[in-house]
Amino acid sequence: MALIVLMEDDAATRTLVASVLRKDGYDVLSADNGLSGLALIRQNKPDLVISDVQMPVMDGFAMLQALRADPAIMAIPVVLLTSLQERAHMRIGMTSGADDYITKPFRPGELREAAAAQLNKRQMQAAVQTMAVEAAVQAALEDQKHHLSYLYEQKLASELSEKWPSADGTSDDEKFSNATVLFVDVLHYAALAEKLSSSELSDVVRQFYNNAGDTVHLFGAKHMQFVGEGLLVVFVDSTDTDSVNHGLRAARAALGLLDAARRVQKFIHSQFPTHRLPRFDVSVALNSGPVALAKLEDPLHGGMHILPVGDTVSATLLLQKQAYKAGWQIAASVAMLRGVTGGVTTGGRALVALPGRSAALDAAELLGLALQA
């Protein structure tokens, strides 16, 4: 049974949070200030700490600093509780070593998700280890050059296509309560199109999307399709991916797409050294939530087309555009990151305003995998 130490000076909030956590089966020890809470942590070595920021005697930031300075308890994850007015100060908490934060007022579901995500760290770190098998695949992708023979690429595509899902001829949509959506878009595409001929641009685009298709296939994508110059990919949990969840596989694919872009940049540099082209780069967004794969009949040409639909999909497309403006190569919603807690490393975090949506999306920059020794 997981043990949680809760620090909150407001008695009503403390009672509410403790009640929600105990209802989920956790043991909870409570304190009304940071100093008393720190003593409980040192005495009981809990699995998780949930702490308010503004408290008497010792506030949440001071408690966090003391916890991270103590080797005996420094590895315990910490979730901070903060009011809307304190949002500007949360960078201090995250920089000081907080693992997550929740803004008051919050829904019980948000609290449950944040607690479960932190307590899932050990399990997720084990899942990351299973990805060691993919190291050879990544090395092969990094070594892959534009001069690979057509025969080799055809053989690889044939092997990968055996795992690729196809329409079953029915009109039933596939619905997933939780999936991860990845959207990657080529930056500076208009500038490339202006300076290259159509055949030259075709070579460049083919270089990237051949690599991109291989990458998402290798990490077990359920569905992919082009959206303009971008590529939309859906990952779901399945039985043939060594139990690595869809979020972690999507994160791995996103990092692989950055590698693919770097290979294309080398190709451009070697093929068009005098064109003064903008750097070939991509921007990626990741988001998790409910997704439906709608099966649509083509009335003109016959056959079946699959279209990913839902708020998760539309939010991912919008997040990619806004994240690029913020300078993030890979942006991931906090909903997605909570599913891979302990498995990835992140950078900046912000509330990202999405055009046409009433609420901003809590997101962070994904930097890499948190591979453990």
- Which of 99, 119, 139 is the endpoint of a domain? 119
Residues 34 and 180 in one domain: no
Mean pLDDT of 50-71: 93
Q: Where does the pLDDT of residue 352 fall: very low under 50, low under 70, confident under 90, or very high at 90 and above?
A: very high
Residue type, 95: T
What span, in angstroms and rounded, lies between the C-alpha atoms of 362 and 289? Answer: 14
Distance CA 279, CA 314 (A): 28
Say if residues 49 and 78 touch (Cβ distance below 8 Å).
yes
User: What residues does 332 pair with on adjacent strands?
Assistant: 286, 364
**What is 134-173 written as a DSSP string?**
GHHHHHHHHH--TT--HHHHHHHHHHHHTTS----S--PP
Q: What's CA 146's distance to the chain center, in Å?
A: 29
Give the per-residue pLDDT at 160. 44
pLDDT of 95: 59
Assess whether 46 and 105 both reside in one domain.
yes
For 274, the enclosing helix (H) or strand (E) is none
pLDDT band for 289, please (50, 70, 90 cuts): very high
205, 345: one domain: yes
Residue 120 has pLDDT above 90, yes or no: no
Predicted confidence at residue 234, as pLDDT, reads: 96
Do 101 and 240 sit in the same domain of this protein? no
Reference 257, options 287, 279, 227, 231; nearest CA is 231
Greatest mean pLDDT among 2-16, 211-225, 287-301 lies in: 2-16
- Using 50, 70 and 90 to split pLDDT, how confident is the model at 152? very low
Report the pLDDT value the prediction gives residue 133, as an integer from 0 to 100.
45
pLDDT at 252 over 60: yes
CATH number of the domain at 132, please.
Answer: 3.30.70.1230
pLDDT digits (tens, 9 = 90+) for 292-348: 998 876 655 556 788 899 999 999 999 999 988 888 999 999 999 999 988 899 999
- Exposure of 95 by Cβ count < 10 A (0-12 exposed, 13-18 middle, 19+ buried)? exposed
Pairing of strands 223-227, 174-186: unpaired
Amino acid, res. 190: A
- Residues of 139-174 as b/e, b for ≥16 C-beta within 10 angstroms? eebeebebeeeeeeeeebeeeeeeeeeeeeeeeeeb
Among 17-26, 126-135, 238-247, 266-275, the least confident range? 126-135
Q: How far is the C-alpha of 157 from the C-alpha of 216, rounded, in Å? A: 12
Please say which residue of 69, 90, 119 terminates a domain. Answer: 119
Can you give the pLDDT at residue 303? 65
Q: Tell me if the bond preceding 105 is cis, omega within 30° of 0.
A: yes
The mean of the pLDDT values for the chain is 83
Is the same domain home to 136 and 74? no
Measured CA to CA, the distance from residue 234 to residue 252 in angstroms comes to 13
Domain boundary residue, one of 60, 89, 119:
119
Indicate whether 187 and 295 sit together in one domain. yes
Q: Tell me what pLDDT residue 181 has.
A: 97
Residue 351: the pLDDT is: 92
Q: What pLDDT shows up at residue 47?
A: 92
Domain region containing 348: 125-369
**Which among 330, 344, 350, 340 is positioned nearest to 372, based on CA atoms?**
344
Closest by CA to 275, choosing from 197, 212, 330, is 197
Residues 47, 195 within the same domain: no
* H or E element at residue 210: helix 198-218
Which CATH number goes with the domain that contains 73?
Answer: 3.40.50.2300
Name the strand (E) or helix (H) holding 346: strand 344-352
Question: What does the pLDDT read at residue 69?
Answer: 92
Instruction: Tell me if residue 297 falls in helix, strand or coil.
Output: strand
Q: What is the mean pLDDT of residues 254-259?
A: 93
Our count of domains for the chain comes to 2
The residue among 272 and 93 whose pLDDT is bigger is: 272
Checking if the pLDDT of 80 tops 60, the result is: yes
Query: Are residues 93 and 221 part of one domain?
Result: no
Task: Please tell me the distance from the alpha carbon of residue 9 to that of residue 162, in angstroms, as a whole number.
Answer: 58
Residues 234-263, mean pLDDT to the nearest whole number: 84
Q: In terms of domains, do 71 and 175 share one?
A: no
Arithmetic mean of pLDDT, 168-181: 78
223 with 266, same domain: the answer is yes
| DSSP state for residue 13 in the 8-state scheme | H
The average pLDDT across 112-141 equals 66
> Does residue 139 sit in the same domain as residue 89?
no
Q: Is the pLDDT of residue 96 over 90?
A: no
The pair of structure tokens assigned to 39 is: 């003593």
158 and 92 housed in the same domain? no
* Range in 63-67, 144-148, 218-222, 261-265 the model is least confident about: 144-148
In this predicted structure, the answer to whether residue 83 has a pLDDT above a threshold of 80 is no
Nearest to 261 by CA among 316, 204, 346, 326: 204
DSSP summary character for residue 299: T
